[in-house]
Amino acid sequence: MILIEQVLGNTKEVLWKQKLDSARIDWLVLDQWEAQKNRLRKRTSGDLEVAISLDRNTHLHDGDILIWDEAGSSAVVVKTELKSVMVIDLGNVATQSLEIILRTCFELGHALGNQHWPAVVKGSKVFVPLTIDQKVMSSVMRTHDFSGITFEFVPGEDVIPYLAPHETRRLFGGAEPASHAHPDHVHTHTHAHGHSHS
């Protein structure tokens, strides 16, 4: 077993792109729950057991390089499998009267809370992880027919650069299946987004 306490770099960096171009890559595949942890033990696709022990408040990202063997031209690289995210855009609502802004935001928060969908608000956008089938989530949004609100689904990896680490954990960690959910997630999200307790 190999202990990993820091990330060497990322495949998106120019220097590493060149190094890895002809290298043999062994993938450490993480689902979205594992990707939020700073401590875990797992086997790579090549059956190498690694123990991750990163600093608190840090986690692994897609493309992170954990091991580099210069002589053997091989590397262990993280591959995250994050679900898509619904991005709700409130930009058009922001130009309306205060009354309409408040009503729309309250109704949206109530709708998300009733569905038990975790969410992260960043600027005029609301990020909601895919917790059920995308068609069902689209149907729920269309049923409410929120005036001035648009939404789209984007890959989780595309959203991460816009979020702080704690927001990423909240977004993807909060979308855990019921068997993995933590009580603090439930309280954090339901109270913050107008969940009705009726």
In a domain, 90, yes or no: yes
More confident residue, 88 or 192: 88
Residue where a domain terminates, one of 28, 48, 81: 81
Residue where a domain terminates, one of 22, 50, 81: 81
* CATH code of the domain in which 36 resides: 2.60.260.20
Predicted local confidence at residue 80, as pLDDT: 84
Q: 0.75 exceeded by the pTM?
A: no
Predicted local confidence at residue 173, as pLDDT: 66
Predicted local confidence at residue 120, as pLDDT: 92
Residue 76 phi, psi (nearest 5): -110, 125
Question: Do 135 and 153 belong together in one domain?
Answer: yes
Task: Give 32-85 pLDDT, tens digit per residue.
Answer: 778 778 899 999 999 999 999 998 878 888 899 999 999 999 999 999 877 889
Instruction: Identify the domain containing residue 98 by its residue range.
Output: 85-192
Question: Do 146 and 112 belong together in one domain?
Answer: yes
The amino acid that residue 30 corresponds to is L
In a domain, 198, yes or no: no
pLDDT at 156 over 90: no
Domain count, the chain: 2
Question: Do 21 and 94 belong together in one domain?
Answer: no
112, with CB counted inside 10 A (0-12, 13-18, 19+), is: buried
- Asked if residue 188 lies in contact with residue 170, where contact means CB atoms within 8 angstroms, the answer is yes
